[in-house]
Amino acid sequence: MSTPPLPEYRVKLPKDLVAGLAHCASALPDWQLTDGLLSAATMTAYRQAMADLPHVPEFAATCDQLLNAPDGDGFAVLELAELLDATGIQYDARVITALLSLIARPLRAFDRWPLWKPLGTNLAKDPMRATGAGYNPMHLDIVNSTWPPDYSALLCVRPDPKGRGHSLVSQVRRAVDRLSYVDAELLTHPKYEDGDFYELTGVGEEWKPFPIIDGHSPLGGFVRFTAKMLADADPDDPYTKAARALERELISGQRRFPLGRGDLLIVNQHLSCHGREALGDGQEDVPEDERRLLLQIFLRREEALS
């Protein structure tokens, strides 16, 4: 019986590339940061360590096509479970950070967290938040900044033991194109606010209020949408109605899939929003250290830094 082909957004590392990465993992230096970004010296060291590994150019080209094609879906899922197994530990963020440096420059946006921010499952949190157990609706990360991260990435260390919590991704530019002229025009007005803005690096300044559609090119600007900001909004306000229309289009075009151990979801925030379905019922019966655990990292395109 033949193995079914992978969905077009999934990238499986060749075995000899996995072996090469595992071999060089212990020699990779600890990362250093400059203004929240992986330092140039660390980037150079990582890339040099991987320069002679097989399939590196093909891997980088595949990721670039999946993430950055203007008419594409704007996301990819890297299958890294074999790499995690080969390193002999639960997860090795250093070797995965090196792998991501082939795509863009890792960014620590939250000053209070490490480069890889842990997103566990906390039943005391608002269910729609990243560490909650409920439905996490479509959103852009750090939406209320003048310069959101170019990419948001989530590494699944431990999937939901209840088998739920599927990831959701939707191409936001296509959703905008399906809106009426009136709704799309309303979304260009700076009428939207979301959350707090503090202890952040490398994402510009706070933008409050902000427009959802900023008018820039697809790979230069953002559609600053988060359904979380609409929870307490006046449902009769025309700006709320326009944002809800966009949310409906995002939901109608969303892709839905599970993340297994070692799956790394990368979303191009210029092109796509992401979210998550609710985790399975009975989370209170699961020990906290056995609940779903992700690690989050942001990436900045190097050409955006020049």
pLDDT in tens, 183-237: 999 999 999 999 899 999 999 999 999 999 999 999 999 999 999 999 999 999 9
Peptide bond into 209 cis (omega under 30): yes
pLDDT at 113: 96
CATH number at residue 108: 3.60.130.10
Q: Which residue has the higher pLDDT, 119 or 303?
A: 119
Evaluate whether residue 254 is within a structural domain.
yes
83 burial type by CB count under 10 A (0-12 exposed, 13-18 middle, 19+ buried): buried
Evaluate whether residue 1 is within a structural domain.
no
Q: Is the pLDDT of residue 250 over 70?
A: yes
Inter-residue contact 299 to 100 (CB < 8 Å): yes
Q: Is the pLDDT of residue 302 over 90?
A: no
Q: Is the pLDDT of residue 2 over 60?
A: no
Q: Residue with structure tokens 């919590």? A: 165
Q: Is the pLDDT of residue 280 over 80?
A: yes
pLDDT at 55: 97
Reported as a single tens digit per residue, the pLDDT across 51-67 is 999 999 999 999 999 99
Evaluate whether residue 143 is within a structural domain.
yes
Evaluate whether residue 2 is within a structural domain.
no
Q: Is the pLDDT of residue 5 over 70?
A: no
pLDDT at 128: 86
Please report which helix (H) or strand (E) contains residue 233, including its range: none
Reported as a single tens digit per residue, the pLDDT across 234-248 is 999 999 999 999 999
Instruction: Tell me how far apart the alpha carbons of residues 270 and 151 are, in angstroms, rounded to a whole number.
Output: 8
Q: Please give the single-letter amino acid code of residue 244.
A: R
Q: Is the pLDDT of residue 91 over 80?
A: no
Q: How far is CA 231 from CA 96, 136, 195, 279, in A?
A: 36, 12, 12, 20
Name the average pLDDT for the chain. Answer: 95
Instruction: Give the model's confidence band at 4: pLDDT under 50 very low, under 70 low, under 90 confident, else very high.
Output: low
Q: Is the pLDDT of residue 276 over 80?
A: yes
pLDDT at 88: 72
Evaluate whether residue 3 is within a structural domain.
no
pLDDT at 1: 52
Q: Is the pLDDT of residue 116 over 80?
A: yes
Evaluate whether residue 4 is within a structural domain.
no
Range of 210's domain? Answer: 10-305
Instruction: Tell me how far apart the alpha carbons of residues 173 and 222 are, in angstroms, rounded to a whole number.
Output: 9
3-class secondary structure, 275: strand
Q: Is the pLDDT of residue 3 over 70?
A: no
Evaluate whether residue 5 is within a structural domain.
no
